[in-house]
Structure 1
Amino acid sequence: MRLRFLKPALLAATAALALSACATATPYGPAGVDSRYGYSDQRVDADRYRVSFAGNSVTSREQVEMALLLRAAEVTAESGYDWFSTVNRATDRDVRFQGIPDPFYRDRYSPFWGPAWRYQRRGLWSPWGDPFGREFDVREIDRFEASAEIIMGRGAKPAGDPNAFDAREVIQNLGPRVTRPM
């Protein structure tokens, strides 16, 4: 008898876990064939790279920009340089709207809607029918992508440049704060 009640609860918990796994921020990793989200970099010159990071709709602007700086620092360290400076840096926001139908709405052709459902004719309005159609909730979905062109250098970073970063300090400070793939 207890199994009969346990089975629906187990199915509901499994479904909730599966849905929560879909709604996670973009993990820090390379963008590739499986996903367009993550980082990518391209060498432009001997000491210059173009670096970008694209996040999904649950990844905040702050997380995207933090991952971009971390990737720029990693590219700098892997190339044997000590610091980098961002030359061109931009964060793009992609906005789209999604209409979600109201799950509790019943149209006039439903047998449970109202007493006049059998008698309504096309084009006639009735107090039991909605003349404007089905109701929708509208949700705004934001997605951020940050990109930068970096110049790398050796030695101490330039003191007067606010766009210059010490690569090892950035890795040490931001590395633990990004979400890594499991």
Structure 2
Amino acid sequence: MKALSRKTPALRALAMTAVAGLALAACATATPYQPAGFNGERGGYAEQRVENNRYRVSFAGNSVTSREQVEMSLLLRSAELTVESGYDWFATVNRATDRDTRYVTTPDPFYSRYNSFYGPYWGPSWRYYRGGFWSPWDSWSNDFDTRQIDRYEANAEIIMGRGPKPAGDPNAFDAREVIQNLSSRVTRPPLR
């Protein structure tokens, strides 16, 4: 019975971590394909007209939106904007994808400040442990997890044209073909 009571805090911590992880996973979804700032979302697409047939287009994702999704959304918005403006093709003049990386450090959920043999400990106390002495401030007792969080933003300056796209230009896209191929592959906002 005593062995079970020693494992109880660890099992409780494991169960709480699993529940918290499932709750967080349910909330974490990729940035939907919609205008920036729509429904309070930080990310999304935006455009600015530079000339009659030239725009700056961007798409920003959140921390769970992949680079591929961000770049695909940028191309889709460029194609939709081209068709909405009465053009047939677009070419990217400048195109870039930026990655914003930050690191978040949190206490390890499996590290417990409660030792079932000694009870809770606070302050500078020393304990005899497996043949040696340790303190709550020993290097192994302060265990942390560090996560890397990446956010991607893609932007492009596009020029639009009518008729068939320029042959041999790898930066030119048929707008209707892009819409046909990519519109089903982007994350759409949930229906309300």
How far apart are 1:49 and its partner, in Å? 0.3
Alignment partner, residue 129 of structure 2: none
Q: Out of 34-43 and 83-92, give the one that drifted further.
A: 34-43
Aligned to 1:81: 87
Q: Is the contact between residue 124 and residue 135 of structure 2 (CA under 8 Å) also seen in structure 1?
A: no
Tell me, yes or no, if structure 1 residue 129 matches structure 2 residue 133.
Answer: no
Structure 2 partner of 1:29: 34
1:69: Cα distance to partner? 0.1
Matches within 5 A, 1:89-128: 89-107=95-113, 110=114, 112=116, 114=118, 120-121=124-125, 126-127=133-134
The CA distance in 2 between the partners of 1:104 and 1:176, in whole Å, is: 41
**Amino acid aligned to 2:133:** S
Contact 2:125–2:135 (CA under 8 A) maintained in structure 1: no
Which runs of 5 or more structure 1 residues have no equivalent in the other structure? Answer: 1-13
Q: 1:67 aligns with which of 73, 80, 90?
A: 73
Q: CA deviation at 1:22?
A: 1.6
TM-aligned CA deviation for residue 120 of structure 1: 5.0
- Name the aligned partner's letter for residue 109 of structure 2: P
The code of the aligned residue for 2:174 comes to D
Q: In structure 2, what residue type is equivalent to 1:144?
A: Y
**Residue 106 of structure 1: how far off its partner (Å):** 3.4
Measured against aligned partners, the alpha-carbon deviations of 1:131-169 in whole angstroms (never above 9, x if no partner) come to 235210111111100000000000000002100000000
Deviations 1:81-139 (A, max 9, x none): 000000000000011111120123234xx574638x599559xx932534235210111
- Number of the residue aligned with 1:154: 162
In 2, Cα distance between the equivalents of 1:62 and 1:162?
18
**C-alpha separation in 2, matches of 1:16 and 1:134:** 22
What is the CA deviation profile of residues 3-56 of structure 1, one whole-angstrom value per residue up to 9, with x for unaligned ones? Answer: xxxxxxxxxxx9877533321111100011612200001101000000000000
TM-score w.r.t. length of structure 1: 0.80
Residue 146 of structure 1 aligns to which amino acid in structure 2? A
- Alpha carbon RMSD of aligned pairs, Å? 2.8
Q: Is the 8 A contact 1:43 1:49 kept in 2?
A: yes
Structure 1 CA distance for aligned equivalents of residues 137 and 163 of structure 2? 71
Pairs aligned (count): 165
1:179 CA displacement: 1.0
Unaligned 5+ segments in structure 2 are 1-18, 127-131
Tell me, in whole angstroms, the C-alpha distance in 1 between the residues paired with 2:122 and 2:142: 19
Cα pair 1:114 1:128 within 8 Å, conserved: no
Q: Where does residue 10 of structure 1 map in the other structure? A: none
- Judge conservation of contact 2:82–2:88 (CA < 8 Å) in 1: yes
TM-score by length of 2: 0.76
